[in-house]
Chain A
């Protein structure tokens, strides 16, 4: 009848005491399990979402930074130095970079080309309507042009698009700046183009005219035409469409989103860009934009009035937007730190996951609350379990005195208490592992739904702004809904191990603290007093 056997008999034969201890540990265990699982789920959602957002970074001027905006306003030409190809290539030599490209980007209003409108045209395709019968979905007609330096094309590497017909660019095309383009299959179909056809990019002055000017007529608009050869068509990949669709639906429902993007959903603009982007070599883009600029300078001298020679010279140089695909999301911070010293003034590294904290504000809040609850639950558990054990030990003072008077070692008496409490605790913790998961699900759902409505009513942007990855054109739009879809309260080995360790650790600390009472016990006073 050693301490272990005594402990087991004590647990099984003193049922009311065991039940009280079980109830206390079970209740506290549920709070602890719920907060551990919430904390873990928020960590998982961050990891999953950041992986979805991709390990993508760019270098540019962060216009969303108000401090930077003020600096830029007082900037002189002498202060400004451009992000040159040389700097981009130096950055790309970083060991963290897997793939990179840089792009001169522009866009144009066309009178000749019809953009593919993903919303309206999809409707038309489904109902077999003609163009005239279709309600205009998204009214944008500004078609983006994206320069390419890497002939293999970054957007293909990122899984945003895939080649449908024809071929991608050759190294020679990129080097010489040949007027060749890659367009989306939908855009080609809409305009009746095929691979090998010639297409005219008409950079028109439409939109540059003063809209309020009555004399300004559409027929007065001019255009700078560039004839290009279509060498290939691409499909927008399903994963991108699916993500766009998913986040677009949720975003459209949001009051905040409607305020942020009046007249149309930002998601629609994102989809529009996906289908209407014209890819062509950087050099060709530059030649085309310069041609258009020179036409403007000749035809609209008033637009260029006041422009200094330096400004004009700066405008004639290409402005590149680089994009770096890193080997891992975990490398982003190191990449940022290494890159910072190489950057021209006012430039900074912006990563796809930078927006995570803004978008996932409610999850971060939930994570912080869960962390606080874990700490509070652990401390509360230590105190409450300690008090219950002390109360029971006071009640069993005579029994403990008997063991000590028989000469039992204090360590054995402590071990008996430890076994008794741990036996009850393990049962309570294992059951609360399951019930705590449901409590965690319920609590986080209640929190997220209340926080969502607060965001909408309060006008907070964090809940529904699209992530920078959409802005980066990395092909993956991640918003609060996507993050919410990634949020799942589920059993994971990590949760089970973390919770049981935290739970048992708490119980062990309580028992060890309570053993101070055993050291104070005086069998003479108890048994002979």
Chain B
């Protein structure tokens, strides 16, 4: 059973009488335990697609279903808080908080049931994605780009949601770091039974995913 399914997603901007389509009739379904990539050129609509699936925007037409329920029925805020986790290209961490505090913020926001000792869990998550305890207690602004992206992934894992969405998570990393992050995503999908959906322009990342969808001028092309 798919965990997320998009049904004929349409998104466009009104330009006078014209409708400029960003996405046109995009229907995809995603399942747990799979590592998906959405690829496409700049302006292909992949980020807009991710925004729809992440509940950061609503389609003009069509639906995004989470376990067969329209996410607008769940409530976009509630959906983001409890059903999915997002990793952004620029990691988007709170700069005046330490690594561990950034993870704890997400844990405090979600309504999902989490273990009582959240701090220990957060340290373990950071350790799992390669952030030592010493670095976990540092302000994120004192850490490298790769380390910050790992912390963003740890934060995404902290809410215990089944879906991880990532927007160009390796865009600012070198090849070695990119490989490490991709490995983490694969592990999360295969070992932790998460549905990992990564939007990327990197062919290398796409090649390592289980399923790749390509968007071209807003239309879905199966690879």
A contact residues vs B (CB 8 Å cutoff): 1-2, 6, 9-10, 13-14, 398-399, 401-409, 412, 523-524, 527-528
Contact = CB atoms under 8 A, between A and B. Distances in A.
A402 B167 CA distance: 14
B43 interface: no
Given A1-B107, A1-B108, A407 B92 contact: no
Nearest to B104: A1
A407 B79 contact: yes
A111 B86 CA distance: 110
Contact of A407 (B82, B96, B155): B82
Contact of B81 (A9, A399, A401, A406): A406
Contacts of B54: 405
A402 B155 CA distance: 11
Nearest to A10: B96
Contact of A528 (B80, B88, B109): B88
Nearest to B159: A406
A527 B57 contact: no
Interface in B147-171: 155, 159, 167
A527 B54 CA distance: 12
Contact of B109 (A399, A408, A523): A408
B56 interface: yes
A527 to B, nearest CB: 5
Interface of B: 47, 50-51, 54, 56-57, 77-82, 86, 88, 90, 92-97, 101, 104-110, 139, 155, 159, 167
A405 B86 contact: yes
Given A9-B101, A527-B92, A405 B110 contact: no
Contacts of A9: 96-97, 101
Given A524-B56, A528-B50, A406 B105 contact: yes
Given A1-B101, A1-B108, A528-B47, A408 B96 contact: no
Nearest to B52: A524
A14 B97 CA distance: 10
Given A402-B94, A406-B106, A527 B88 contact: yes
Given A9-B101, A399-B95, A528-B88, A406 B56 contact: no
A419 B126 CA distance: 29
A109 B95 CA distance: 93
Contact of A406 (B47, B57, B109): B109
Contacts of B106: 406
Nearest to B122: A1
Nearest to A399: B94
Nearest to A529: B47
A13 B94 CA distance: 12
Given A10-B96, A407-B82, A409-B77, A524 B105 contact: no
A407 B95 contact: no
A2 B109 CA distance: 7
Nearest to B98: A9
Contacts of B104: 1
12 contacts: A1-B105, A9-B101, A10-B96, A14-B96, A398-B92, A406-B81, A406-B105, A406-B110, A406-B159, A523-B56, A524-B57, A527-B88
A405 B95 contact: no
B96 A13 contact: yes
A407 B109 contact: yes
A6 B106 CA distance: 12
A402 B77 CA distance: 12
Contacts of A405: 54, 56, 80, 86, 88, 92
B77 to A, nearest CB: 5
Contacts of B101: 1, 9
